[in-house]
Amino acid sequence: MTYRTLINQYQNRHHLLLEEIKTVIYYVNGLNYTSLILQYDDEVLNLPRIRYYLRKLIQGIPVSYAIRQFENKGTIYYLNRHVLIPRPETLELINIIQKEQRLQDKIIVDVGTGSGIIGIELAKETKTKVYLLDISSAALSVTKRNAKRILTITNYQIMKSDLLDALVKANCQVDLIVSNPPYISKEEILDKSVFDYEPHQALFAEPPLYFYQEILKQSLMVLKPNGSLYFEINPLFAETLKDMAQKYYPQAEITLMRDLYHKVRFLKLINVK
Ligand SMILES: C[S@@+](CC[C@H](N)C(=O)[O-])C[C@H]1O[C@@H](n2cnc3c(N)ncnc32)[C@H](O)[C@@H]1O
């Protein structure tokens, strides 16, 4: 069987997405976009293994959990079902911060780090010190595995912490706080593949702004003067959150930002002093 026939079969008969079928093929056979095109009419290598992963997709398992990895610009993150699969808007937030902030020699904290994607990407090519915090021990084993492989031992510290608690207790001050906390209300209807497979502790918040309020409250003890805070947010509550942030930081510059789909997705706060 050729790659072309295999892809057609799983697209047409099993209604799998082309990109997901290709992700499995790349993963199993170490191919990329170009090398697959060049081999489109060649015999498929490792067909039983490819079928094994494609069967998982047919069962509804998200591709990143099926192959236990996620790639961002060439960096591979290990994943399992204890951590959220990074979303495009989170990668956008990372890009925004990289463009706006001089990260060299800064101290950053990623609150609710999960796979570690935000903190690790921000610290990866700089001398930045990053604290990677999460309340879930199972999630932190994933963070540890990724940080150990991608960062140098000197520029990260992983801590089990209820939001910023550990840093408050240790009297730590940081230049940048970033968080994509749980923000989905129990009433929101989610895709079955999200609801059934992703960790609920990473998704849901009740009330929906609970985690933001707590982080803002604790951040008053942690964020340095002129430091910055970035949140990924639920567009439904953007204005309410902006008002809330302004109450905690009356003098701060607070900006709401849109994602590539024009949804209000991010909040930036500069702790002007
Ligand atoms: C939406 S996920 C974000 C994961 C990752 N930062 C990302 O953007 O892909 C939220 C994370 O917050 C963690 N979390 C939930 N409650 C928390 C708490 N009270 N303190 C610290 N982390 C918490 C969850 O375990 C989960 O890893």
List, in sequence order, the alpha helices (H) in 30-116.
33-38, 47-58, 63-67, 88-100
Higher pLDDT, 187 or 205: 205
116 C-alpha to ligand 1 centroid (Å): 10
Binning pLDDT at 50, 70 and 90, where does residue 126 land?
Answer: confident
Which protein residue's CA is at the shortest distance from atom 19 of ligand 1? 162
pLDDT in tens, 198-220: 999 999 999 999 999 999 999 99
Determine the atom of ligand 1 nearest the C-alpha atom of 203.
1
Percent of the chain residues past pLDDT 90, beyond the cut: 93
Q: How far is CA 231 from the centre of its chain?
A: 12
Residue 57 confidence (pLDDT): 97
Mean pLDDT of the chain: 96
Domain ranges of the chain: 3-67, 88-270
Distance CA 215, CA 269 (A): 13
Helix, strand, coil % over all residues of the chain, rounded to 5: 45, 20, 35
Residue 58 confidence (pLDDT): 97
Quick check: CB of 119 below 6 Å from ligand 1? Answer: no
For 219, how many CA atoms within 13 A lie in the half-sphere containing its CB? 30
Quick check: CB of 184 below 6 Å from ligand 1? Answer: no
Side chain identity, residue 96: I
Structure tokens that stand for 229 in this block:
């805070």
Determine the atom of ligand 1 nearest the C-alpha atom of 181.
10
- Residue 107, phi then psi, degrees to nearest 5: -115, 125
- Residue 109, phi then psi, degrees to nearest 5: -130, 135
pLDDT in tens, 45-65: 999 999 999 999 999 999 999
Residue 268, H or E segment: strand 264-270
Quick check: CB of 206 below 6 Å from ligand 1? Answer: no
- Provide the whole-model pTM: 0.95
Distance CA 181, CA 231 (A): 8
Please determine, for residue 105, whether its predicted confidence score (pLDDT) is greater than 90.
no
CB 1 within 8 A of CB 43: yes
Task: Check if CATH label 3.30.750.24 holds for domain 88-270.
Answer: no
Find tokens 């959990």 and name the residue. Answer: 65
Distance CA 114, CA 120 (A): 11
Q: For the CA atoms of 138, 144, 145, 146, what is the dihedral angle to 10 degrees? A: 110
Please give the span between the terminal C-alpha atoms of the chain, in angstroms, as a whole number.
66
Please determine, for residue 127, whether its predicted confidence score (pLDDT) is greater than 90.
no
Distance CA 228, CA 210 (A): 20
* Lowest model confidence (mean pLDDT) among 3-12, 81-90, 183-192, 215-224: 183-192
